[in-house]
Structure 1
Amino acid sequence: MTDEPEYSESLKSFGEVLKVLRRRAGLTQEQFAPMVRYSVPMVASIEQGRRFPPPLFVERAESVLDGLGVLKAAAKHLSRRPGLANWFRQWAQLEREAIALYTYECRVVPGLLQTEAYARAIYLSVPPPPNEDEMNERISARLARQELLSTKRRPPRTFSFIIEQAVLERQTGGVDVTRELLDHVIETAERHWNVELQIMPLRQPTHAGLDGPLQLLETPENRWFAYSEGQDTGQLISDPKVVSLLHQRYAKMRSQALTPEDSLSLLRQMRGAL
């Protein structure tokens, strides 16, 4: 499967504006690319509306082209989700409108709770490693999704996260990355009243989540969907009977995991030990 995102009118418009400003400055793509420290193919893809421009690209392009804020303003209205695999896009669309999101993870910290350094460490860990442009685009997409956590939305979404303790004990990316990650996760749980975080302890003789990662969401129409992900695959589940079964499993895990208070206490202990 490919991670190449679909075209969108907003991306095409941004690309056209970028192209006009670049040509006004008398620069070819080959001249412009090193000035913003991105590859020529990346610049070409952005101008064609095929790639989402990473924040650093927009910032550097504004400076190089003296864009008078035009590029930054246009970037605010880009509608496509960058760097998301094809099989995840339908779920991402539902996710943006959801009123509740439940996530159980046993492999990595959920994307909505990741730091940039942790996300980078994940991408560098799993072969084949992406090139720098691809990695920046995917990380930008992942961090942009964290806007979902905002309590400014009315009504705000509610979130439940269950994370295996082993995921954090693994120290993906090293001690410094883990220290920053723990600080971020703790701060998110403390600052966002709509976020409930639970840790599944290392020792748990009965575990309802042994079949793997699981996500559930509720739409504004109070319909529930589920999402399951594996090695380079993903499945959106809409069958009410299957979703009900997965709901039962998630509910069981909530009773098996540490309470939110005990989970935060454990995270602070882990942070203090680093």
Structure 2
Amino acid sequence: MVDGEDAGVGGGGSEPEVSDSLKTFGAVHKALRETAGLTQEEYAEVVGYSVHAVAKLEQGRRFPQPKYIQRAGEVLEAPRVLRAAARNLTRKQGLASWFQQWAGIEEEAISLYAYECRAIPGLLQPEPYVRAVFRSSLPPLTDDQLERQVEARLERQRLLTGKQNVAFSFIIEQAVVERRTGGDDVTRVLIDHLLQCGELRNIQLQIMPLRQPDHAGLDGSMYLAETPDHQWFGYFEGQQGSALISDPKDTSALLQRYGKMRSQALSHEATVSLLKQMRGAL
């Protein structure tokens, strides 16, 4: 998956529905703003966001970032009210309905593994790369759809830093980086971001080299998650569909393949070295 949000694991797909919790937060926010006697234009200037962003948030079509909730609470003099309204918002908001089951498993997981041969895993995509992925979606996305999907993906990435006791493992085909999705400038940002993520002690990053005669991942991309009660789930996506795998026999097969790929891919240290070489060649 490129990672399976609102538009599929990595790119296009159906538009996410506006969630009830987002609409509720937007309505509370609007009521507080109007009580303060501020128009959207006046409020946007004070809070430091665009009028467009404020309007979309009040319509329930924009996920509020934590720093926005804090700032809005200060400006509207109602921090406790806004925090309460935001309490039921989760990373699932803005995600496609068919992805939400996996997103729920992912959010509770104690181990997350990903192998990608199509695009950088969504959890590792910096914003310029995310935008490049969604701009390539077909049918094309509207500006509003693109913004909602970008925000959903970036919000979901908080898993990486918000759960330091979760073991993350990523195996990425070298060709995915070499493709230079979005151009050279985006690729520079991407490699710098991968190197930064690779410094986190709970993340293992491995590149599968271009030349690898023995490859256990020829059946395609896969995602694996271990729940707190040590049950494993698998997940994969295709052009127009996805599948959640829960049968122990099938998840065992995926774990065997993933384990083999870990031995076939470059080590974390060799991966960092290769990424630095690729960065220098841009």
Q: So what's the TM-score if we normalise by structure 2?
A: 0.81
Displacement of 1:187 after TM fit? 1.1
Displacement of 1:67 after TM fit? 2.4
8 Å contact from structure 2 (residues 28, 85) kept in 1:
no
2:191 to 182, 201, 218: 182
Q: Which amino acid aligns with 2:218?
A: L
Q: What CA distance in whole angstroms lies between the structure 2 residues aligned with 1:225 and 1:251?
A: 15
Residue 230 of structure 1 corresponds to which residue in structure 2? Answer: 238
Q: What CA distance in whole angstroms lies between the structure 2 residues aligned with 1:90 and 1:215?
A: 13
Deviations 1:205-230 (CA, angstroms, capped at 9, x unpaired): 22111111100010010000000111
Displacement of 1:35 after TM fit? 6.1
- Partner SS, residue 182 of structure 2: coil
Q: What CA distance in whole angstroms lies between the structure 1 residues aligned with 2:265 and 2:278?
A: 17
- Partner SS, residue 86 of structure 1: coil
1:240 aligns with 2:267: no
* Counterpart mapping for 1:121-270 below 5 A: 121-150=132-161, 153=164, 156-190=165-199, 192-270=200-278
1:18 to 11, 29, 33: 29
Residue 9 of structure 2 corresponds to which residue in structure 1? Answer: none
Displacement of 1:107 after TM fit? 0.8
Displacement of 1:165 after TM fit? 0.3
Q: So what's the TM-score if we normalise by structure 1?
A: 0.84
- Partner SS, residue 99 of structure 2: helix
Deviations 1:211-262 (CA, angstroms, capped at 9, x unpaired): 1110001001000000011113211110111111111111111111111111
Residue 16 of structure 2 corresponds to which residue in structure 1? Answer: 4
Q: What CA distance in whole angstroms lies between the structure 2 residues aligned with 1:151 and 1:73?
A: 18
Displacement of 1:69 after TM fit? 6.0
Q: What CA distance in whole angstroms lies between the structure 1 residues aligned with 2:98 and 2:173?
A: 25
Q: What CA distance in whole angstroms lies between the structure 2 residues aligned with 1:28 and 1:236?
A: 46
Displacement of 1:16 after TM fit? 2.2
Q: 1:152 to 1:45 in 2, by over 3 A?
A: closer
1:116 aligns with 2:127: yes
1:106 aligns with 2:114: no
Q: What CA distance in whole angstroms lies between the structure 2 residues aligned with 1:119 and 1:258?
A: 25
Q: What CA distance in whole angstroms lies between the structure 1 residues aligned with 2:32 and 2:203?
A: 43
Q: RMSD over aligned Cα, in angstroms?
A: 3.1
Unaligned runs of 5+ in 2: 1-12
- Partner SS, residue 132 of structure 2: helix
Displacement of 1:130 after TM fit? 1.5
Percent of residue pairs bearing the same amino acid type = 52
Unaligned runs of 5+ in 1: none
Q: 1:194 to 1:245 in 2, by over 3 A?
A: same
Q: Which amino acid aligns with 2:19?
A: Y
8 Å contact from structure 2 (residues 30, 58) kept in 1:
no
2:52 to 28, 31, 37: 37
8 Å contact from structure 1 (residues 58, 75) kept in 2:
no
8 Å contact from structure 1 (residues 151, 157) kept in 2:
no
- Partner SS, residue 178 of structure 1: helix
Q: What CA distance in whole angstroms lies between the structure 2 residues aligned with 1:69 and 1:267?
A: 46
Q: Which amino acid aligns with 2:260?
A: K
**Number of aligned residue pairs:** 263
- Partner SS, residue 227 of structure 1: strand
Q: What CA distance in whole angstroms lies between the structure 2 residues aligned with 1:203 and 1:69?
A: 58
Which range moves more in the overlay, 192-201 or 129-138?
129-138
Q: What CA distance in whole angstroms lies between the structure 2 residues aligned with 1:43 and 1:76?
A: 12
* Counterpart mapping for 1:85-104 below 5 A: 85-104=96-115
